[in-house]
Amino acid sequence: MRRQFCTLLGLILALTLSTSALAQSRGSIQIKGSDTMVNLGQAWAEAFMEEHPDALIAVTGGGSGTGIAALINGTCDIVQSSRDISEKELTLATQNGREVKEIVAAIDALAFVVHPANPVFQLTIDELSAIFTAHLTNWKGAGGRDQAILVLSRERNSGTHVYVLEEVVRKGNSKGPEEFAPTVLMMPSSQAIVQEVADNPAAIGYVGMGYLVPTVKAVSIFGEEAGDYVEPTLEHAVDGRYPLARPLLFYLPGTPDGIVKEFIDFVLSERGQSIVLDMDFVPLPKMKEQTAESRE
């Protein structure tokens, strides 16, 4: 299911002094990208710097697209992404001499959240698609109150936005015609969605599992394989019952070495994956644990 990206531009890369190489030489790492992963990335960075006092790691969000653009432009060492790099982005990176490497760092289950007072507690993918395309505009049509639905989405630069577009709005057909309705409010961050849903009983939005808090309620989603409605939990993400689980990815501009390799090996280690669990994401199955050097 995962696509492996490995270009033949080793010679070009060897002749190019990259930003990553400069960063490694001074013991610092620039990490940019997914807002879904930003808190997780910061937790990894803090734990790594405790073990390596000379290391300096800066983690910023802005969306998966922002991180991938930084990789293309040579202004970051590691991209955190909640979606696959596109063919167009990969081509641009290749043209700029990046030998892009992909690493699965953790697993997330995407949750759709409503206000705790909303009586709706379960939805199908078809119902979600209808809500986000404005074919279903009143909660009464989903078993709720007679109340207009306020629909929230991450903005288009977000990897989570792309994932929801393909897997929910287009119901698994990435090239389908469906689009987010113009009435959908595009929010700048997952935290902004959580805050709006917590304040508005008519709202619905989506966030990664790491953003679930008691002030919002995650609805169960009907899973075809499970044949039932399934809650977004760690257990259901691991066992495959929850239909909206996805990998969380690192993209690198080349084969990592130095401090970058040490950091990635830390993320994939037992200690790094325990942080994944602490942050309410899903750690990688043990049989898939590998070092940065072994993932090509």
Selection from 166, 182, 173 nearest residue 134 by Cα: 182
* CATH annotation of 109-245: 3.40.190.10
pTM for the predicted model, two decimal places: 0.71
Query: Is residue 181 classed exposed, middle or buried when 0-12, 13-18 and 19+ CB atoms within 10 A define those classes?
Result: middle
Selection from 5, 50, 37 nearest residue 263 by Cα: 50
**Residue 204: C-alpha distances to residues 109, 111, 115, 123, 273 (Å):** 17, 10, 8, 12, 31
Q: What is the pLDDT of residues 82-113, one digit of tens each?
A: 999 999 999 999 999 999 999 999 999 899 99
> In the structure encoding, which two tokens stand for residue 49, read together?
């710097």
Q: What is the pLDDT of residues 17-60, one digit of tens each?
A: 344 444 444 589 999 999 989 999 999 999 999 999 999 999 99
93-119 in b/e burial notation, b at 16+ Cβ within 10 A?
bbebbbbbbbbebbbbbbbbbbbeebe
What CATH topology corresponds to 10-107+247-294?
D-Maltodextrin-Binding Protein; domain 2 (3.40.190)
The rounded distance, in Å, linking the Cα atoms of 286 and 294 is: 15
Q: What is the pLDDT of residues 228-285, one digit of tens each?
A: 999 998 888 888 899 999 899 999 999 999 999 999 999 999 999 999 988 878 888 8
In this structure, the number of other CB atoms found within 10 A of the CB of residue 123 comes to: 22
Q: Can 10-107+247-294 and 109-245 be said to share one CATH topology?
A: yes
Q: What is the pLDDT of residues 142-198, one digit of tens each?
A: 999 999 999 999 998 888 898 899 999 999 998 899 999 999 999 998 899 999 999
Domain ranges of the chain: 10-107+247-294, 109-245
Q: Give the model's pLDDT for residue 21.
A: 45
